[in-house]
Amino acid sequence: MFFADTIFLTVSKGVAIPNGMSNRFALRSGVLATVVSALLTAGVILPPTLAFADAASSRSETKLGVIDLRRALADTEDGLRMKSKLQELLDTRQTEYEGKEKEYAKAKEELERLAKDGKTPDAELRKKYATLEKQAFDLQNQGMVLRREMQQRENEMMTPILDKLNRLVRQIASQDGYDVIVSRDAVPYFRGDLDITDRVIQLYNTANPAPADDKKSGKKDAKAAPAPKTTAAPAPATPAKKK
């Protein structure tokens, strides 16, 4: 699906921030990267290198934690519901797009047949060609709208989950005296006991139980949604001139 490659950084037992987002679906979210950039500019948070240096210099021993944020996003109940809803929306929009794609292909085939037959007046062929060109433009535009819509919906649904995870990381850091909590992707090796991912997921699900309707339905949440296949429409064939 579309989860971001994100780094959580906790400084001085408190500030856990997502640092960096990768682009997906041509559906990927850049909202958090913008927020992080603004915080860095304002001096609210420190870059990772400075954070480590400050923590190490202020204490003889630095307590470290590691979180796999992508797994936390994927395995929380809210994350599973988010993936299911995005997949459902994508399936609907993709079906609509493919229907118009078939209409375009049929119209293009008909125009090519008429041009080859040579019995249709040039004026009518030009009119049909103009209509086909508009169809091609509308189809390409619909693909771009679909990508923007999916990215926006993903951002809207993902941001609240990340905010809640962020608060939990800060809570754990404050309670247990962590100086720094980093993303699993940021370190090539760490001891298993430093991983707080399962704990964060458990605390998240306890604090944010599934709605009653979801529990009664018994529906299984969908896996990550694949990127939609919004291929650019081919340019319509130029009608042949009548001899």
- 84/72 Cα distance (integer angstroms): 16
- 151/165 Cα distance (integer angstroms): 21
- Other Cβ atoms less than 10 A from the Cβ of 31: the count is 18
pLDDT at 238: 52
pLDDT at 224: 39
- 65/181 Cα distance (integer angstroms): 4
DSSP 3-state assignment of 15? strand
pLDDT at 205: 94
Q: Strand pairing partners for 115?
A: none
* Alpha helices in 118-196, H assignment, sequence order: 122-176
Query: What Å distances lie between residue 174 and 16, 49, 59, CA to CA?
Result: 11, 21, 16
CA torsion angle 209 214 219 224 (round to 10): -60
Supply the pTM of this predicted model: 0.56
pLDDT at 198: 95
pLDDT at 214: 62
pLDDT at 60: 59
Name residues of the chain where pLDDT drops below 50. Answer: 1-53, 55-57, 217-234, 236, 242-243
- 170/181 Cα distance (integer angstroms): 9
As a 3-state breakdown, the chain gives helix, strand, coil percent values, each rounded to 5, of 60, 10, 30
pLDDT at 178: 94
With tokens 């006991």, the residue in question is 193
Give residue-wise pLDDT tens across range 134-191: 999 999 999 999 999 999 999 999 999 999 999 999 999 999 999 999 989 898 899 9
